[in-house]
Structure 1
């Protein structure tokens, strides 16, 4: 548990918040809890590393805000939204792979926010501190919009399909009658547009977003 520190934050008329961070990646949970613990508006931050532990924590000692990782090792953070709300806690959901349908479901269940885990700590802490005071906060863009919305050129989409099939730049170049340098240039461009750093991340993004089939 991280206790409140004396760092300044925007003044509020309400009592300091108690927060439960639910994430099966302990390092991320610790970092987020540490960041939240430095706000004077937050009295304490507890951590649960599984859906099971989260249910026990919420039943044992209610909190004001539950920060829920959507994908947990033993269940979905979305299923914890009603549990948190029944304990009179507001729910902020986080995910490594934002999807529009998942966002709609989270908000429909009553979540106050649906944010990407790579969002800035400023964004994450703002979502927690203002969970009950503003319209829901959601990610700016969804991967499926990038892929299906035409941001990738036809050639980039074609090359991404080959990457998903497990082909390297040389194989792709041979099949498309392009130079390896040209293929690598297209790969660099599509990775930038998708906001990922590697071909493996691009494949994972396409898979988790459920839009691999749309590229065919």
Structure 2
């Protein structure tokens, strides 16, 4: 078993407990793609227990265990996601990428260990109906994101500037003054923005922009 978790206490405790049960377990830290590839190189595939939140790489970039799922699955590993507070969409993305299930860090340790050992024994971790629900959730969100991006792509360069001004907390009057146009013009542009994005308020438009920028 390969344990990929940036929390040393959790990963070390799991490693010791699993080894006491006869499971060959090793830790991998940091959870970068390069470190994982090195850890599995030449190793017979087994179970990989992967934390969703892996902290930061040495270069400061955020590391996500979800990004490691395809890499491990392609090499024949079964992946169990470990999370302390991941959003359901992150779990759905991991399952869609091939993870066989997920476990919460707040699960009593003995129960968590039992679940891991069940996976090692080849027993199902995630009911099929739940797996299908998460896959549908993931693809549904992907469809919604594509529609949102399409709405943003419809904005003219000027409308995008107005939206970014609103996102920066500026009022329509301020945007009009800075752009040397009338307030009526800016208000007309805001109405066009709302229509293209399919939202009913400036707050929703700004929230949509921020959500897309974070993806």
TM-score by structure 2 length? 0.50
How far did 1:124 drift?
2.0
RMSD over aligned CA atoms reads 1.9
- Asked if 1:32 is matched to 2:14, the reply is yes
CA contact (8 A) 2:50 2:79 kept: yes
Instruction: Tell me, yes or no, if the aligned pair for 1:62 and 1:87 is still in contact at 8 Å.
Output: no
Q: Residue 109 of structure 1 aligns with which residue? A: 97
The reply on whether 1:134 has 2:110 as its aligned counterpart is no
Q: Is the 8 A contact 2:52 2:86 kept in 1?
A: no
Secondary structure in structure 1 of the residue aligned to 2:41: helix
Secondary structure of 1:21's counterpart equals strand
Task: Tell me what 1:96 maps to.
Answer: 84
Shift of 1:39: 1.2
Is it true that 1:119 corresponds to 2:119 in the alignment? no
Structure 1: which 5+ runs fail to align?
1-18, 139-216
Q: Is 1:22 matched up with 2:4?
A: yes
Are the equivalent residues in 2 in contact too, given 1:92–1:127 (CA < 8 A)? no
Q: For residues 138-192 of structure 1, give each alpha carbon's deviation from its aligned partner in whole angstroms, at most 9, with x where no partner exists.
A: 8xxxxxxxxxxxxxxxxxxxxxxxxxxxxxxxxxxxxxxxxxxxxxxxxxxxxxx
Counterpart in the other structure of 1:58? 40
Which one has the bigger helix percentage?
A: 2
Following superposition of structure 1 onto structure 2, how do residues 110-189 of structure 1 map, counting pairs within 5 Å?
110-131=98-119, 132-136=122-126
- What's the counterpart of residue 82 of structure 1? 70
Distance in 1 of aligned mates of 2:43 and 2:17: 22
What SS does structure 2 have at the residue aligned with 1:94? strand
Q: Distance in 2 between matches of 1:127 and 1:106?
A: 18
Change (3 A) 1:62 1:50: farther
Partners of 1:87 and 1:28 lie apart in 2 by: 25
Larger RCO of the pair (alpha carbons < 8 Å, separation 6+)? 1
CA distance in 1, matches of 2:43, 2:53: 23
Paired with 1:112 and 1:126, the residues of 2 have a C-alpha distance of: 15
Shift of 1:135: 4.4
Match of 2:51 in 1: 69
Q: Distance in 2 between matches of 1:89 and 1:125?
A: 18
Structure-1-length-normalised TM-score: 0.50
Larger radius of gyration between Structure 1 and Structure 2: 2
Task: Give 3-state SS (helix, strand or coil) of 1:28's partner.
Answer: helix
Name 1:45's counterpart in structure 2.
25
Unaligned runs of 5+ in 2: 58-62, 131-215
